[in-house]
Every structure is written in structure tokens, then in C-alpha cells.
Structure 1
Amino acid sequence: MKSILKLFVLALLLQSFQCDEDRQDPITEQQLNLLKQEIVDYIDSFECENSENCNTIAFGVKPCGGPIEYLTFPSSVDLNELEAMVESYNQLNLEYNIQTNAVSDCAFVLPPQTVECDNGSCIIVDN
């Protein structure tokens, strides 16, 4: 079932990367939220064993540049798959920002200083 959902989202993303003149529907916040949830669900399907197995990845694109936040993930994930999913999200987020003339605070979001494994999940302890 998960692979069918992934294929559906991938097909949706591939359609969204067509040239602007071919785009018929604008990107919606709901599309971004669904894609983010898929990424979070993917990460949550893996467990960490200890804090040394936890990593972070920049996620989202602020209108003035830089990531919106950092996601934590255990090293047991397929890093290539996670990076591809996040890159797809970031590209869609960038297009959404352009379409909506989005603005932000332009504050630079730093990577977390401390990430730990807590009950099988990687969490940000402080930032």
C-alpha cells in the first residue's frame, strides 16, 4: 500500500515539474502538507538505536532562501530515497513561493546543535 501511495505522489510530482506554460493548476498548500506528511511518515517508519544514529536534513525553502526547518531521521533510512523526497518537496515549495509571491522573516535557520534518540525516534533537543 505504501509503495502505491509513493508511486501516486511521485506521478503527481512529475506532473508538477512540467514547464510553467504547461501548468494548469497552481500548487496548493494542501499538496505541500500532504507531501510533507508522506516524508514524515517515511522517516517514522524507521527507528534509531542510539543518538549517534540520528541525522538532520534541511527541509523546505523560505522565500528569501534557506531552509524552513530541519527534519531528524535515523541512519537506517534509505538516504538516497529521503534526499530525493526532500528535494522534490523543496522544488515544489520553491514553485509555490514564486506563485504566491510569498514573503518570510528571512531569518536564517541553523542546523540543530543536539539531536538524540528517544524511544526509537530522533528528536531535536535544542537548537
Structure 2
Amino acid sequence: MKTLHLIRILFLVCIFSSCDEKNNATQEQEAQYIQQLYTEIQTMASSVPCENATQWNFTSYGSKACGGPVGFIAYPNTIDVNQFLQKVAAHRIAQENYNEKWQIASDCAAPVQPIDIVCENNLPVFVY
């Protein structure tokens, strides 16, 4: 079942990326798809209140045009972590393809990687 979900996500990434050079998706449509994926990632990550920081982890997300992640996102270990990380990977791949296809430029500043997470007001907060 999880394999089928991953295949579906990767198929969608190919539809909205440069997997098919005849792809008719506009830049705006591809950007909307990437934003939709990120919204789904945020929804999953925020679906549980942060009450115990030991039950949380974080991962990088996105892809800057010059390489490296856009940032980091905290997520609870109580969600379907495999599905969450698959969605994060699909988002990264879609953004890499988008950046390359549309020749996107970005700053090359690397986001600082957190060293820990604490819970404040039921929200995860990074410690640097």
C-alpha cells in the first residue's frame, strides 16, 4: 500500500516536472503544484500538538536553485512518518525539476540546521 502511494506521488511529480519534454504545464501550474505539496506537508506536520519534544523530529524540505534545502520542518513521530517523508521527497524533486526547467535563481544561503526541538504553546520550536 505504501509502495503504491509512493508510485502515485512520483507519477504526479513526473506529470508536473520535466519528465516529459512535451509537458504543457505552465510555470504557474507547476508552482501551484509545488505549493500544494508543501501545504500537505505542513498540514501533516501540524496535525498533532507539540506536548513532548522527544516525540518530534525534523527534516529538510525543498530545493534551492543553487542547491541545498529551502529550510527545515518539524514533524511528530506519531503520524505516518513514511508517508510524510515520501511527500517531502516528492516536493524536493518537484522543486528541483521546476528550478531547472524554468531556470530559477535564488540566494545560495544555506539555512541553519536546528540541533533540537522544544515545545512552546503546543508548537514545535527549533533550537539552534
The reply to whether TM is greater than 0.5 is yes
Question: What TM-score, normalized to structure 1?
Answer: 0.78
1:40-71 deviations in whole A, cap 9, x for unaligned?
01111123331222211100001111100000
The AA in structure 2 aligned to 1:16 is F
Match of 1:74 among 73, 76, 84: 76
Contact kept, 8 Å, 1:58 with 1:67, in 2: the verdict is yes
Gaps of 5+ in 2: none
Length, aligned pairs only: 119
Q: Distance in 2 between matches of 1:21 and 1:104?
A: 24
**69-78 or 11-20: bigger deviation:** 11-20
Match of 2:36 among 30, 34, 37: 34
The alignment partner of 2:72 has SS state of strand
1:8-45 deviations in whole A, cap 9, x for unaligned?
x9474453357332422145322221211111011111
The alignment partner of 2:83 has SS state of helix
Percent identity among equivalent residues?
Answer: 27
Gaps of 5+ in 1: 1-5
The alignment partner of 1:46 has SS state of coil
Question: What TM-score, normalized to structure 2?
Answer: 0.78
